[in-house]
Amino acid sequence: MFSAKRQIGNNFEDKALEYLENIGYKLIERNYQTPYGEIDLIMSDNKTGEFVFVEVKAVQTDFYGAAVDKIDRKKLQKIHKSALIYQNTLGKFLTMRFDAVCFEKTRGFETIKHYKAVYL
């Protein structure tokens, strides 16, 4: 059984996955674990051939800032290190990109924003 927080996270990851698949991405891995942390989604962008490492973030209100603002430098460093571990497990060089899919609830409406190429 998952915790309530994990269930909410899974729900937003499901929504992000559906969104990304609808725009032509293909799922490779989900919840990839490394000593540095977890990568929510690893996708393939069929248009560019890139491996896309996706962080999913959601906030219930924008009072404390946008969801993308919650992805700080430290989190991006962990995702980058985790992506390098993934690359090493495959034993080949990957063309990588780091994206964020963010959900925000404002005035009762939930919005989704896709940020491509989020870097340190």
Q: What pLDDT score was predicted for residue 105?
A: 74
Q: Please give the model's pTM, rounded to 2 decimal places.
A: 0.88
Q: Does residue 5 surpass a pLDDT of 90?
A: no
pLDDT at 2: 63
Instruction: Give me the residue spans of the domains in the chain.
Output: 4-115
Mean pLDDT, the chain, rounded, equals 88
**The pLDDT of residue 30:** 96
- For the residues 51-78, what does the mean pLDDT come to? 85
Average pLDDT over residues 78-107: 91
| Beta-bridge mates of residue 100 | 55, 115
Query: In the structure, what pLDDT confidence band is assigned to residue 58 with cuts at 50, 70 and 90?
Result: confident
Q: Which fold has domain 4-115?
A: Trna Endonuclease; Chain: A, domain 1 (3.40.1350)
Q: In the predicted model, what is the mean pLDDT of residues 35-59?
A: 94
**Residue 61 pLDDT:** 66
Q: Give the mean model confidence (pLDDT) for residues 57-82.
A: 84
